[in-house]
Amino acid sequence: MKTRLTIEESLKLLPDAPGVYLMHDKNDEIIYIGKAKNLKKRVKSYFQKNHDSAKLIVMVPQITRFDFIITDSEVEALILESHLIKKHKPKYNVLLKDDKHFPWFLITEEQYPRIIVTRKADKKLQKGKYFGPYTNARAMYSTLELIKKMFPLKQCKTPRFKDRPCMYFQIGKCLGVCQKLTSPEDYKEVVKQVEMFLSGKQNELLSELKNQMELFAAKQEFEKAARYRDSYFDVMKAVGKQKVVSENTDINQDILGFARDNSIMSIALLKVRDGRLIAKEDFDIKLYDIHTPYEAIIAFIQEYYQLIDSSEIPKELLLSCEIEEDETKIIQEWLTLKKGSKVSLLTPNIDSHASLRMTMKHELVEMADKNAIASLESLKVSEMASLQNDWNEIGCYIQEKLNLPNFPNRIECFDISHIQGTNTVASMVVFINGKPYKSEYRKFKIRTLKEGQTDDFASMAEVIKRRYQKLLKDVSTDDKKQFFPDLIIVDGGKGQLSSALEALEELGLNNMPIVSIAKKFEEIYLPENSNPVIFPVNSKALFLFQQIRDEAHRFAVSYHRKLREKNAVKSILDEISSLQLSHKKILIEYFGDINGIMAANKSELSRVIGKTHGAKVYSFLHKSNNLK
């Protein structure tokens, strides 16, 4: 029987070579797989220093042993790492949605190929050329219909009739290959055109169609020439709907943008081919709190470009986040090797000296980020809808997990907002049966702190006391069950929870269910319990708590910002002699903030508060020494 080495003994055997390492836990399960330029340096780093990374703080104590595989190069290590992650699915690696859920186009490998949709890009099962994956099935099927309209590919797997072609031939959507009405060579030309269309090579395709049209016209084969003419104009029409991002038709780029909210991350992939934006794909990733967007982007690049055909890899990959130099070099080398020509990886940063080309690239990355944000918001709406559909089950789970006396029909959450103690405010948001009730939201100015004094604990105690003191005063004993919450959530850790608990005890509300949620590891703290409650990262209960906490934070920050801007405007307008309080209020209400007032011209100001006062305000605000 082979003796298992200790970690210390294994570390001494590590080589100064590139490769892949596999971390095991006490159950001998693989919990993490990584690649390294130098196995000795990389693996030793896990065990020889204190870690700031949340992932490593949680993961390293669980490692009982590790294996490693030496490779000839960093690129080989990257490819092997990707394969092993897909095979073993370690819990501390970022795991993307299984590609079998995504539809692909497959141009089959047979004498007369067809184009079909498949859910698994497996060349062992179905031979042929794959295009994809596509995340929007509806858009993909629309593309399929367009292809069938433009290119007369074979539609049927087996002939419908023995001695005549079917209806598809009669309406011009098939060349009648079942009855040998076209040659294999002519059919291959059509297949080649479909491949060009799916690869985004529209300019090359249009040139090909035009040449074929002119060739058959010269031979006086007008029926074939007409078919190529129709395909030419159909492609022109499709290309005309695509956004032109560059007049340079040699530009072929993939642009990656991302957006994250707690455990949900959305990646938007924009595809530019021949200077035109031809497609957008959205990918959603479930992240553990220990994972960073950086790790997710790297994992996505490795998996996505491992899947697709080499012909679909662009010349340039633009990213919205910086990637470490060593990682960039490895990915570039790997993609270049797979494509067979140079591939560049770039994060476009702009300054006052940036070129027009770099500025345009930066704008594309911003566009990708905006698309990712839109996709993320859509995901959140879907998650909330799903949550509300399953509210009874989720509410029961929360009640059991937190040992609540009642079902959490009404949840109230509190947050504090300030900047270095200035304009300290608090917010309270209300969720009833998993839904936000904005009419019952409340905002508070903190009164007990001096301006500039920072004390989140005292602020939390004040707002809790004010909220429930008023409720005790206004609500009769019979109505308490209706208006008092089934659960109070405070944003923060044990300190905020203790302060809130003391305030409740002062009011005699000793049995009020209350918890706090700490941001770093999304831990739920209960009173008189030092160990936090951990909801599973993919649970709908945790998603609900995160949404409630984030809504309280948003409401507090928006109130704080509004108060700060209002105070800034008031202080500036107070310096204008003879400007009445009523005029100041009108200006603030009409223009919103100091920027709106500054942007207004003299006639706009005069129309709002009168000609004399408008001219005075305009003159004062546009003196260079008055507003900096």
pLDDT tens-place string over residues 63-72: 888 888 898 8
pLDDT-flagged residues of the chain (< 50): 1, 624-628
Beta-carbon contacts of 472 under 8 Å, excluding residues fewer than 6 positions away, are 507, 509
What's residue 627's pLDDT? 40
Task: Give the largest Cα separation in the chain, rounded.
Answer: 98
Q: How many CA atoms does the CB half-sphere of 527 hold within 13 Å?
A: 19
What's residue 410's pLDDT? 92
Beta carbons of 317 and 343 less than 8 angstroms apart = yes
> Which among 479, 421, 480 is positioned nearest to 446, based on CA atoms?
421
Instruction: Kindly report the backbone phi and psi dihedral angles of residue 243, in degrees, each rounded to the nearest multiple of 5, phi listed first.
Output: -70, 130
What residue ranges do the domains of the chain occupy? 7-93, 253-380, 391-553, 574-621
What's residue 55's pLDDT? 74
Sign, CA torsion 324/330/332/335: negative
Check residue 203 and report its DSSP letter.
Answer: H
Encode burial over 206-236: b for 16+ CB neighbours within 10 A, e otherwise.
bebbeebbeebeeeeeeebbebbbbbbebbe
What's residue 248's pLDDT? 59
Beta carbons of 21 and 70 less than 8 angstroms apart = no
The beta-carbon contacts of 81-89 under 8 Å, at least 24 apart in sequence, are 81/20, 81/33, 81/34, 81/35, 81/302, 82/302, 82/303, 82/306, 83/306, 84/20, 84/22, 84/33, 85/33, 85/299, 85/303, 86/303, 88/22, 88/30, 88/33
Cα distance between the two ends of the chain: 77
Check residue 401 and report its DSSP letter.
Answer: H
Sort strands 316-319 and 253-261 into parallel, antiparallel or unpaired. Answer: parallel
Instruction: Kindly report the backbone phi and psi dihedral angles of residue 225, in degrees, each rounded to the nearest multiple of 5, phi listed first.
Output: -60, -40
- How many angstroms separate the CA atoms of 167 and 161, rounded? 10
Sequential DSSP letters for 43-112: HHHHHSS----HHHHHHGGG--EEEEEE-SSHHHHHHHHHHHHHHH--TTS--PPPGGGS-EEEEE-SSS
Beta carbons of 290 and 59 less than 8 angstroms apart = yes
- Beta partners for residue 444, in sequence order: 426
- How many angstroms separate the CA atoms of 23 and 29, rounded? 8
At the topology level, CATH places domain 391-553 in Nucleotidyltransferase; domain 5 (3.30.420)
Q: Calculate ∠ Cα 28-31-37, nearest 5°.
A: 115
H-type alpha helices, 524-593: 540-573, 581-591
What's residue 513's pLDDT? 92
Sequential DSSP letters for 407-457: --SEEEEEEEEEETTEEEEEEEEEEETTEE-GGG-EEEE--SSPTT---HH
Domains 253-380 and 391-553 share a fold: yes
Helix or strand (DSSP H, E) at 488 = strand 487-491
Q: Is the peptide bond before 436 cis (omega within 30 degrees of 0)?
A: no
**Tokens standing for residue 435:** 């839904």
- How many angstroms separate the CA atoms of 468 and 488, rounded? 11
Beta-carbon contacts of 562 under 8 Å, excluding residues fewer than 6 positions away, are none
Beta-carbon contacts of 422 under 8 Å, excluding residues fewer than 6 positions away, are 451, 452, 564
Beta carbons of 54 and 289 less than 8 angstroms apart = yes
**Tokens standing for residue 425:** 């405010």
Residue whose pair of structure tokens reads 């200077």 in the numeric block = 275
Residue whose pair of structure tokens reads 């009642």 in the numeric block = 406
Residue 20, classed as helix, strand or coil, is strand
Beta carbons of 414 and 464 less than 8 angstroms apart = yes
Amino acid code (one letter) for 560: H
3-state helix, strand, coil in the chain (%, to 5): 50, 20, 35
Residue 500, classed as helix, strand or coil, is helix
- How many angstroms separate the CA atoms of 445 and 427, rounded? 9
Helix or strand (DSSP H, E) at 459 = helix 456-474
What's residue 289's pLDDT? 56
What's residue 430's pLDDT? 93
**Tokens standing for residue 549:** 């906490």
A 10 A CB-CB count for 420 gives 9
* CATH 1.10.860 given to domain 253-380: no
Sign, CA torsion 565/566/567/569: positive
- How many angstroms separate the CA atoms of 120 and 110, rounded? 19
Q: Calculate ∠ Cα 382-545-489, nearest 5°.
A: 150
**Tokens standing for residue 576:** 């204008």
Q: What is the pTM of this model?
A: 0.59
At the topology level, CATH places domain 7-93 in GIY-YIG endonuclease (3.40.1440)
